[in-house]
Structure 1
Amino acid sequence: MSATIAYLRVSTDTQSTETQRATIENRYNVDKWFTDEATSGAIKAKDRKGLSELLNYARSGDTVVVYAIDRLGRNTVDVLETVETLEAEGVAVVSIREGFDLSTPMGKAMLTMLAAMAELERSNIKSRQMAGIERARAEGRRLGREKTIDDAQVAQWRQDHNASIKATADHFGISVASVKRACKSAK
């Protein structure tokens, strides 16, 4: 007997799968749910616990429903490999937001175009982010978290106590890497 399977994914722990679940429940009587929470779409499908379990569970005749194609991933190749893996097992894939059945020739064409657009958008976001970082640097703004340790103090304590890097890190409650950076910059 064939089953309707739903897959939900959110990228961060501040997001919820509830909208995806409600949208799918409004249109399908789902037999089995698989979820990946706080999981980036950039992580390959086979490396995501929920999607990996779905791939192992799905059988010929089943239908996998996703809220949107980007829930399967953001990388064109990975999304296409996931869909092809499911189709090779006789499993249909339906994307609600885009409104198509990916097992049809038109659905495959749309999937290829949408996945490529998602990858392009991700690349554009990264480019804009890097441009913003470069602009901030050019304007002399400091980036990153505010420094909380005094490099000179850490280096001096280590020298005064003839302490190891690990002992210094433990004393100040900082990482070994922070001690190394502090000692290097204090020279």
Structure 2
Amino acid sequence: MRIGYARVSSELQSENAQLDALANCGCERIYHEKISGKGTKRPELIRLLDSIRTGDTVIVQRLDRLGRSLSDLINLLSAFKQKNVEFISLNENIDTSSATGELIFHMIGAIAQFERRLISERTKVGLEAAKVRGRKGGRKPKLTHSDVKKARAMLSSGEVSKAEVAQHFKVSRPTLNKALEK
């Protein structure tokens, strides 16, 4: 049986192109999900792994849809191999039914991981450079220094609860608590 797997990282993305490509190459069953590839909890991938049998072929449109790291991809490929299941990636033209296809799989996976590491390193360098110039990353605090002083004053009177103070400043209690700890 030809089994497809499609994944997009967020609800804003559409998996239609992947689903069409998998249907066009003859997939009889397609598992798809909208979830980040970083996490290990991908319920549809787990269902796919539970359902594959000897002689099946797992097909993805692109290699990065299956796994986000080389070790993740190799572990999945090993799981396929243990069950005598072949693997095909359409965009990279990888078919593990041949020795060449398996070699290409490992090479492309290594290059993809290398590229992700380069991006991560460049991001870290950029953030460090911004920090040196006095820029600070992240979200702006919901409560200003002045708001925190007012919240402390409101709470010290004993007439107002933390829930009421949080509601007054339109923040959650955990946000208020975090601001008060600083």
Note the C-alpha offset of 1:107. Answer: 1.7
Amino acid at match of 1:40: S
Find the residue that maps to 2:106 and give its secondary structure.
Answer: helix
Residue number in structure 2 paired with 1:117: 111
Query: In structure 1, what is the Cα distance between the partners aligned to 2:115 and 2:154?
Result: 49
Aligned length: 179
Residue number in structure 1 paired with 2:16: 18
- Over the aligned positions, Cα root-mean-square deviation in angstroms equals 2.0
Query: In structure 2, what is the Cα distance between the partners aligned to 1:156 and 1:116?
Result: 57
Structure 1 alignment gaps of length 5 or more: none
Residues 68-77 or 127-136, more deviating: 127-136
Residue number in structure 2 paired with 1:151: 148
Change (3 A) 1:165 1:72: same
Query: In structure 2, what is the Cα distance between the partners aligned to 1:6 and 1:156?
Result: 60
Change (3 A) 1:163 1:115: farther
- Aligned mate of 2:36, from 19, 40, 47: 40
Give yes or no for contact 2:94–2:102 (8 Å, CA) kept in 1.
no
Residue number in structure 2 paired with 1:68: 62
Note the C-alpha offset of 1:145. Answer: 1.9
Find the residue that maps to 1:74 and give its secondary structure.
Answer: coil
Amino acid at match of 2:138: G
Using structure 1 for the length normalisation, give the TM-score: 0.85
Amino acid at match of 1:183: L
Give yes or no for contact 1:95–1:102 (8 Å, CA) kept in 2.
no
Amino acid at match of 2:158: H
Query: Post-superposition, which runs of at least 4 consecutive aligned residues in structure 1 deviate over 6 A?
Result: none
Query: In structure 1, what is the Cα distance between the partners aligned to 2:100 and 2:63?
Result: 15
Residues 116-125 or 158-167, more deviating: 158-167
Query: In structure 1, what is the Cα distance between the partners aligned to 2:180 and 2:159?
Result: 13
- Aligned mate of 1:88, from 76, 82, 88: 82
Using structure 2 for the length normalisation, give the TM-score: 0.87
Change (3 A) 1:67 1:154: same
1:135 aligns with 2:132: no
Query: In structure 2, what is the Cα distance between the partners aligned to 1:124 and 1:165?
Result: 45
Q: Percentage identity across aligned positions?
A: 30
Give yes or no for contact 1:152–1:182 (8 Å, CA) kept in 2.
no
Which whole-Å deviations, capped at 9, do the CAs of 1:142-187 have from their partners, x for residues lacking one? Answer: 32222232221222222222766566445544334422332233xx
Amino acid at match of 1:33: I
Structure 2 alignment gaps of length 5 or more: none
